[in-house]
Amino acid sequence: MEVALNIESAVTSRYSEAAQAREADLCCAVAYDPQYFDVIPAEILVNSFNLASVAGLMCRSTLNIGWRGEVYDCDFNQMLNLQWRNGKPLFLWDTKPEDVQNRPILTGDHCFGCTAGAGSSCGGAILPA
């Protein structure tokens, strides 16, 4: 006998449980100790820049939308409050599909985190190990 699986219900149930307590098997850690970042030299990401990773970057093909409709290039830019602007902050309802194509991407030193080595986990490893 085949059992029908309600995908939405299964995902909601699984991640609702995971939101209550840390689970090592999920892709992202719930907590980390920032002291471990203090020992990483700032230039390590810059020196590990990989031009081949740029084509697969999330910011080149997707948008990040805040809960109030704010538009960002990526989740890192959202956390840094680097919202799209055109004389004023832009929201999803202020943009058209043609605004998205070939738009300039707001960049900063944090972008080296996505271009080091095989690229960020947002786009997966794009170079063989």
- For the question of whether the overall pTM of this predicted structure is more than 0.85, the answer is no
Q: What is the pLDDT of residues 19-32, one digit of tens each?
A: 666 665 555 544 66
The answer on pLDDT for 87 being more than 90 is: no
**Torsion-angle region of 126 (φ positive above 0: left; ψ -120 to 50: alpha; else: beta):** alpha
**pLDDT: is 125 or 73 the higher one?**
73
Instruction: Provide the residue count of the chain.
Output: 129
DSSP 8-state assignment for residue 71: E
The confidence band for 82, taking pLDDT boundaries of 50, 70 and 90, is very high
Calpha distance 3→33 (Å, rounded): 43
List the single range of 28-37, 61-70, 93-102 with lowest mean pLDDT.
28-37
64/66 Cα distance (integer angstroms) = 7
Please enumerate in sequence order all residues whose Cβ is within 8 A of that of 18, keeping only pairs 6 or more positions apart, or say none: 26
Distance CA 95, CA 88 (A): 12
